[in-house]
Chain A
Amino acid sequence: MKEILGLYNYWVVIFLMMTGFYIVIARRNLIKKVIGLSIFQISVFLLYITMGKVTGGTAPILPAKHFTTGEDFQTFSNPLPSVLILTAIVVGVATTALALALIVRIHEEYGTIEEDEILEQDREP
């Protein structure tokens, strides 16, 4: 029971990660692949953030008053994962936009965004 309560967050994150991975490898549609990648990406963000949490802590902003009692907090969650993920999110959306732009160009050249149809067109002379 203690293990389940202590580790369930990782398991959920791994499930989400693998769902994203599955979409990337099993679906032929390019937009669906990008969706899968972004699900994978968000679950990696969640993995990092969940590792930074400290029980009884609060957001790492000093000085932090308790919501109801007005006392100063002494425990803070780890700010480092937040910093890493903060930049990763914005970089992630920039690269997603780049992928989507490539998809738009592919659709203009091939008239389809299904991977197998693109490969078929490539094989024909």
Chain B
Amino acid sequence: MPAAVTQITVILLLALLACTATTIVRMRDLWAAVMLTGIFSFLGACWMLILDAPDVAFTEAAVGAGIATVLMLGTLALTSREAKPPEHFPILPIAVVVMPGAALVFGTFDMPYFGDPFAPAHSHVMPEYMSDTVPDVRQIESHPGEPQDAHSDEHSDSQRNDSQDRGAHHGVGVPNIITAVLASYRGYDTLGETVVIFTAGIGVLLLLRGRRERRDVEEDGE
């Protein structure tokens, strides 16, 4: 039952995404364009949810439909709401866009089909992450190095140590593989991303802090 329903939902979502994008192109009212961008992010988040990426989906919903929209509206309030109409028919940009688009579509014919479990993307690195993240319980029970003739309390103790060692050496032991990969296997990468956010925050503060900052004390204004 759900497969066909999902398929129809996805097709509707994609059609909505395409409609929103084309509407944004034609929009000259920036206010409406910003709101449509928020809707676009939200639709994208819905599709990500269907594609089994709940973490990404609700980050995108919170960021794209929430904070980015608020920031763009804030910018509109500080600048202007209306874009100038284009002077002539944009034949050159259309050509520039259609050519790489056609090349990319041509390139997709070599891509693995949607949902293909044997796609190259799933064959490298990922299986090791998957199998290492949570130690397989059955594997521990039939561990060949287990002492067979030990006392019962010693036995359970060594088993506990063994499973701990497994957790420490091989696996991360966190059920959410995305979190495990993000924070542990790719910890350096995430540190770098955090520093990028830190730097961007400082950049915004440097650009917008200063003489024209609104004072909340009334008599300070001119």
A–B direct touch in complex (beta carbons closer than 8 A) = yes
B40–A80 CB distance below 8 A: no
Q: Which residues of chain A from 1 to 49 have any CB-CB distance to chain B below 8 Å in the complex?
A: 2-3, 5-12, 14-23, 25-29, 31-32, 34-35, 38-39, 42-43, 45-46, 49
Residues in B whose Cβ lies below 8 Å from that of A108: 212
Residues in B whose Cβ lies below 8 Å from that of A51: 119, 121
A7–B129 CB distance below 8 A: no
Q: Across the two chains, which residue of chain B brings its CB closest to A87?
A: B193
| C-alpha gap A15/B19 in the complex (Å) | 11
B79–A52 CB distance below 8 A: no
B93–A22 CB distance below 8 A: yes
Contact count band on B: 35 or more
| C-alpha gap A113/B82 in the complex (Å) | 10
User: Which of A9, A18, A61 meets B100, CB within 8 Å?
Assistant: A18
B115–A42 CB distance below 8 A: no
A77–B51 CB distance below 8 A: yes
Q: Across the two chains, which residue of chain A brings its CB closest to B208?
A: A101
Does any Cβ of A come within 8 Å of B30's Cβ?
A: yes
Known: A7-B109, A87-B190. A45 touches B56 (CB 8 A): yes
User: Smallest CB–CB gap between B34 and chain A, Å?
Assistant: 7
20 A–B contacts from the bound complex (CB under 8 Å)? A3-B109, A5-B113, A27-B83, A32-B33, A43-B44, A54-B116, A55-B114, A60-B177, A78-B122, A79-B126, A79-B181, A82-B56, A86-B56, A86-B178, A90-B193, A91-B193, A98-B200, A101-B204, A104-B78, A113-B79
Additional 11 contacts, C-beta under 8 A, given A12-B18, A45-B48: A5-B113, A10-B105, A14-B104, A21-B97, A31-B83, A32-B33, A42-B41, A46-B48, A61-B177, A76-B130, A83-B182
